[in-house]
Structure 1
Amino acid sequence: MVEEIKENWTHVLINGQSKTLEVKDAEFDKGKLVSLSDIRPFNKKDSEGKEIIPTVELANKEKRKAYNEFFQKPFKNLIILTGAGSSMDVKGLSMAQLWDEAVKEFKTEEVDGLSNIIEAVKFPKEKTDKKDIEALLSQVEGFIKFSEDKDIVFKDGKKKLSELKDLLFKLIQLKCTIPTPPNDAFPHKVLLEKILQRKQTSPRIKVFTLNYDLLFEDAATAVNAIVIDGFSYTFPRTFSGRYFDYDIVQREGSKLKEEDNFVQRVFHLHKLHGSINWERIEETGNVVINEKPKKALMVYPREAKYEDSYEQPFFEMMARFQRNLRLNNDTLLVCIGYSFNDKHINAAIEEALNQNPGFRLAIIDPGFDNPNTSKSLKTIKEYAFKTERILMVSETFTNFANYFPEIKTYENTQQVTINLKNE
C-alpha cells in the first residue's frame, strides 16, 4: 500500500472564498516568509507564455496587492486593536519570554526561586513546559486565597508567597518598559503617520491597546500628533471618561463658515489593560499619570484580569471599545498582534460580527495559520473563507505598517453568524 503524502500548504491571506493565497513548503523567520516551493492561485506564465518561477517576493507582492485592495478606501470609523505581537516587533516580550526573565531574576547558584514557587503551589508540569506565566500567577493567587500565604525559600531568604507575587508583578512592569525605537524601526510611528492623514471631518481614529508600554505615546510625539487618552490636561493628569468626549478645534481666525475647524493629527488612545505610567492614589482613588509610579496600575496576566476589567478606569475603556464596534455605518477593526485569548475582547468582536452589518474585521498576525493558535482565531479563520467582511493576513506589524495603503471606502458584503468558543 502506497502511503499518501500530504502536501504542506499554508495560508498567508484569506478574504472570502475567491480571495485566498497559499504557499507550499513555507518557512518563516520571525514571522517573515523566507522560502517556499509554490504559490496558489498563481499564473505560472507571463503574457508571452514564458514560465514564471514562484518566489517569496512574488508571494509577498500578491499578498500585499490583495490587502491593499481591502484597505484601499477609508472607512468612516477606523479602529485599531493591538496586542503583544505589535510590541514584539520593537523588542517587547511574549508571555513565554517573561517566564524566562522570571527564571533568570529569581535564580542563584543555590536557589531556583521560580521552581520553588511552582512546587509550592503544585503548578502542573504541562503548563510549566508551556511557560504559561498567566496560569502560574492565577494559581499563586488561588493558593494564597484558599490555602495559605506560605513561606518560600528565595534567593535572599524566605519570603511570603504574596511578596513573591508582587515581585513577579514588578518584573512584568519593568520588562514591559520598552525604550523608544529609532525612527527607521518604529512601526507604530509609520502606521500613525499614514492613518492620521484622514480628512479632519472624518471621525477620529480610535486606538485600543492591550499593551502596557508607551510606544503609541512615543509615536504620537514623533509625528507631532495629539493624543486624547481619557486624562485631564491639568496636572496631575487625572483620569475621567468624559475627557474622551472632548476634541480639539481651531476657532479664532480659522472660520469661513460658522462651524468648527477640527485640528489635524488627533487620535484617541485607550489602554484596555492599563499602563506602566498609571497610578491609583490611595487617599482619593483617583487614577493619575506618573512617570515613576510606586505600583503601576495594570491588569496583570492572570484569571482575575477579567474581574479587573470591570473596575475603573478599565470598565470605561472596555465600554468605549464595545460602543465603537457597534457603530453601524462603515466600521473597520484592525487587530494587530492580538492572539484572541481574552474572553471579554472576543465577546465584543463576536457581537459586532453578528449584529453589525456595517462592521469589518482585519487580522494582522504572521502566525494566524499556525495549528497552535487559539480556538477563537481558528473559528474566525473558518468564517473568513465564507465572507469578505473578514480579512486575515500573515504579516508582521513592521511590514504591515510599511505597506499599509492610503485608505478610501468600500461596499457592504454578506452577513455571517459567528460563535467564538473561548478556551
Structure 2
Amino acid sequence: MVNEVKESWKYLLINGKSKTLEVKDSEFDKGKLVSISEIRNHPKKDSEDRDIEHTADLANEIKRKVYKEFFQKPFKNLVFLSGAGSSMDVGGLSMWQLWEETKKLYLIEKTEEAEEVDGFKIIREKVNYIADDTNLEALLSQIEGFCKFSGDCEIEWGINKKKLSEIKEEIFNLIKSKCTIPTPPKEAFPHKVLLEKVLQRKQTSSRVKVFTLNYDLLFEDAATAVNAVAIDGFSFTFPRTFSGRYFDYDIVQREGSKLKEEDNFVQRVFHLHKLHGSINWERIEETGCIVINDKPKKALMVYPREAKYEDSYEQPFFEMMARFQRNLRLNDDTLLVCIGYSFNDKHINAAIEEALNQNPGFRLAIIDPGFDNESASNSLKTIKENALQTERILMVSETFTDFANHFPEIKTYENVQQVTINLKND
C-alpha cells in the first residue's frame, strides 16, 4: 500500500471565509516567502488564455493588496502591541537565541590542560530542570523556585563556584545586555517607517497608542528620527519621573495669547507604554520613585519567568496594563495591531480575549511570519480558527520590515459579525 503524501498548504493571510490566501510547497527565508508551487483558488490562465506563473512574488502581491484594503480605513482608535518579533528584524534575539547565549556564558571550553565543561547543564541539573525544550523563562522560574524552597546553594563547574541567586542575576544582566539594540540606519528601521505613516492621522483623531513588551529603546529612537513626541508616562522635568497622570496630558498649539475655543493638537504625538519595563528605567530605593536613567544601576524590567505576572500588578506595570485594557474596551472602532507577539502572555491574552468577546467595535490584526507554524502557541492557533470565520480578525504572514514598508493610508470600515472566542493558554 502506497502512503498518501499530505499536501503542504500554508496560510499567508486569513480574514474571514472569503479572504484567505494559501500557497502550496512554500519555502521561507528569515520569515520571507521565497518560493511556492501553487496559489490555491487562483487562475492559471489570464483572460487571453496565457499562462499565469504562480510565484512567491505574485502571492505576496495578492496578500498585500488584501491587507492594504483592511488597513486603508481611518479607525477611531489605533492601538499597536509590539512583541519580541518586531525587534528581531533589527538585531533583537529570540528566546531560543537568548538560551544559546546563556549556554555560552557558562561554558568552559576545552584546552590542552582540561576538558570542556558544560556549566549550563550542571546548573539545570542542580535545579531539577529536566525538560528537553530550550525555555529560558521556565528555567528562570525553576531557579527562583529552587532558591525559595531548597535554599540559595552554591554550584561548581570547573574552577567556578557561584550561588544560584548570583547566576539568576547574571542571566538577567545578559538579557538586558542583549536587549540593548543600537539604532538601525534609517533605510532599515521599520519602527521609524511605521511611525511616519501612522502619525499622519488627522489631528482630530485620537492619539496612536503603542504598547510594547520589549525592553529596548527602538520606539524612542524612531520617535527621534521622525521628530515625534512620545508621551511615555514620565514627567517633562528632570529627572524624568513616572506618574500615570502624564498619559492624560496632551500637546496643543496656542497662537499668541488668544485662546481658541477648539484645541489645536500638535501633530506627530503618540503614547508609548512599555508593559514590561525598559533598559533605561530605574527605581530609586530611597524614595520609590521611578526615573529614566541612561545608565541605571539596576534596570526596572519584568524578566521572563512565572513571577512576571505578579510583577505586572506593581507600578508602573499595573498602570500600563490598566491602560491597555481600557483602550481595548473603547467601543467605537478600535483596531489592535499585534506585531511579533507570540500570544504566550496570559494577562495580555486575557485582555485581548475580553475585547474580542465583549466589544463589537473591536478588530484585531496579527502580523507574524510564523502564525501558521505547528510550533505556534495554542492561543494563536485558536485565533486562527476564528479568523477563518470572521472579518474582524486579520492574520498576515509578514515580517515587521515588509509590513512597515507596505502599510497604507487609512479609510473607514464597515461593521461585521460578532464571534465568541476562548483563548487557550499553553
TM-score range relative to shorter protein: over 0.9
Q: Which residue does the alignment assign to 1:319? A: 322
Return the match for 2:261 from 238, 244, 258: 258
Q: CA RMSD in A?
A: 1.3
| CA shift in 2, pair 1:4/1:327, >3 Å | same
Q: Which residue does the alignment assign to 1:267? A: 270
Q: Which whole-Å CA distance do the structure 1 matches of 2:324 and 2:408 have between them?
A: 25
1:35 paired to 2:35:
yes
Aligned partner of residue 108 in structure 2, secondary structure = coil
Q: Which residue does the alignment assign to 1:166? A: 169
Asked if structure 2 preserves the Cα contact closer than 8 Å seen for 1:254 and 1:261, the reply is no
Q: Which residue does the alignment assign to 1:26? A: 26
1:388 paired to 2:394:
no
CA shift, 1:192, in A, is 0.3
| CA shift in 2, pair 1:302/1:182, >3 Å | same
Identity level (%): 79
1:104 paired to 2:104:
yes
Asked if structure 2 preserves the Cα contact closer than 8 Å seen for 1:193 and 1:223, the reply is yes
Q: Which whole-Å CA distance do the structure 2 matches of 1:254 and 1:203 have between them?
A: 26
Q: Which whole-Å CA distance do the structure 1 matches of 2:80 and 2:307 have between them?
A: 25
1:306 paired to 2:312:
no
Q: Which residue does the alignment assign to 1:117? A: 123
| CA shift in 2, pair 1:180/1:67, >3 Å | same
- Per-residue Cα deviation, 1:8-31 (whole angstroms, up to 9, x for no partner): 100000000000000000000110
1:45 paired to 2:36:
no
Q: Which residue does the alignment assign to 1:285? A: 288
Q: What letter corresponds to residue 100 of structure 2 in structure 1?
A: D
- Per-residue Cα deviation, 1:213-244 (whole angstroms, up to 9, x for no partner): 00000000000000000000111100000000
- Per-residue Cα deviation, 1:187-236 (whole angstroms, up to 9, x for no partner): 00000000000001100000000000000000000000000000001111
Aligned partner of residue 10 in structure 1, secondary structure = strand
1:415 paired to 2:411:
no
Aligned partner of residue 107 in structure 2, secondary structure = coil
1:15 paired to 2:15:
yes
CA shift, 1:46, in A, is 1.5
Q: What letter corresponds to residue 99 of structure 1 in structure 2?
A: W
Q: What letter corresponds to residue 191 of structure 2 in structure 1?
A: H
Q: Which whole-Å CA distance do the structure 1 matches of 2:275 and 2:41 have between them?
A: 39
Return the match for 2:371 from 364, 368, 371: 368
Q: Which whole-Å CA distance do the structure 2 matches of 1:156 and 1:406 have between them?
A: 60
Q: What letter corresponds to residue 275 of structure 1 in structure 2?
A: S
Asked if structure 1 preserves the Cα contact closer than 8 Å seen for 2:254 and 2:260, the reply is no
Q: Which residue does the alignment assign to 1:203? A: 206
Q: What letter corresponds to residue 62 of structure 1 in structure 2?
A: I
Report 1:47-86 matches (<5 A): 47-86=47-86
Q: Which residue does the alignment assign to 1:95? A: 95
Aligned partner of residue 262 in structure 1, secondary structure = coil
CA shift, 1:43, in A, is 2.1
Q: What letter corresponds to residue 152 of structure 2 in structure 1?
A: D
Q: Which residue does the alignment assign to 1:240? A: 243
1:188 paired to 2:169:
no
Q: What letter corresponds to residue 218 of structure 1 in structure 2?
A: D
Q: Which whole-Å CA distance do the structure 2 matches of 1:287 and 1:57 have between them?
A: 49
1:340 paired to 2:343:
yes
CA shift, 1:256, in A, is 9.0
Q: Which moved more, 1:393-402 or 1:33-42?
A: 33-42
Q: Which residue does the alignment assign to 1:138? A: 141
Q: Which whole-Å CA distance do the structure 1 matches of 2:36 and 2:118 have between them?
A: 43
TM-score, normalised relative to structure 2:
0.97
Q: Which residue does the alignment assign to 1:212? A: 215
Q: Which whole-Å CA distance do the structure 2 matches of 1:345 and 1:155 have between them?
A: 42
Q: Which whole-Å CA distance do the structure 2 matches of 1:12 and 1:255 have between them?
A: 54
Q: Which residue does the alignment assign to 2:113? A: none
Q: What letter corresponds to residue 121 of structure 1 in structure 2?
A: V
Q: Which whole-Å CA distance do the structure 2 matches of 1:242 and 1:416 have between them?
A: 35
Q: Which moved more, 1:46-55 or 1:88-97?
A: 46-55
Asked if structure 2 preserves the Cα contact closer than 8 Å seen for 1:83 and 1:338, the reply is yes
CA shift, 1:108, in A, is 2.0
Aligned partner of residue 166 in structure 1, secondary structure = helix
Asked if structure 2 preserves the Cα contact closer than 8 Å seen for 1:28 and 1:34, the reply is yes
CA shift, 1:156, in A, is 6.2
Q: Which whole-Å CA distance do the structure 2 matches of 1:183 and 1:25 have between them?
A: 35
Asked if structure 2 preserves the Cα contact closer than 8 Å seen for 1:334 and 1:361, the reply is yes
Aligned partner of residue 261 in structure 1, secondary structure = coil
Q: Which residue does the alignment assign to 1:225? A: 228
Q: Which whole-Å CA distance do the structure 1 matches of 2:142 and 2:2 have between them?
A: 49
Asked if structure 1 preserves the Cα contact closer than 8 Å seen for 2:275 and 2:321, the reply is yes
Q: Which whole-Å CA distance do the structure 2 matches of 1:116 and 1:254 have between them?
A: 70
Return the match for 1:399 from 391, 398, 402: 402
Q: What letter corresponds to residue 407 of structure 1 in structure 2?
A: I
Q: What letter corresponds to residue 389 of structure 2 in structure 1?
A: K
Q: Which whole-Å CA distance do the structure 2 matches of 1:254 and 1:183 have between them?
A: 39
CA shift, 1:253, in A, is 3.8
- Per-residue Cα deviation, 1:69-88 (whole angstroms, up to 9, x for no partner): 11111200000001000000
Tell me, which stretches of 5 or more residues in structure 2 are unaligned?
110-115
TM-score, normalised relative to structure 1:
0.97
Q: Which whole-Å CA distance do the structure 1 matches of 2:422 and 2:153 have between them?
A: 42
Asked if structure 2 preserves the Cα contact closer than 8 Å seen for 1:383 and 1:418, the reply is yes
Aligned partner of residue 57 in structure 2, secondary structure = helix
Q: Which whole-Å CA distance do the structure 1 matches of 2:194 and 2:228 have between them?
A: 12
Q: What letter corresponds to residue 291 of structure 1 in structure 2?
A: D
- Per-residue Cα deviation, 1:141-192 (whole angstroms, up to 9, x for no partner): 0000011110011576311100110111011000100000001110000000
CA shift, 1:258, in A, is 1.7
Give the paired residue count.
420
| CA shift in 2, pair 1:280/1:45, >3 Å | same
CA shift, 1:257, in A, is 4.5
Q: Which whole-Å CA distance do the structure 2 matches of 1:155 and 1:174 have between them?
A: 25
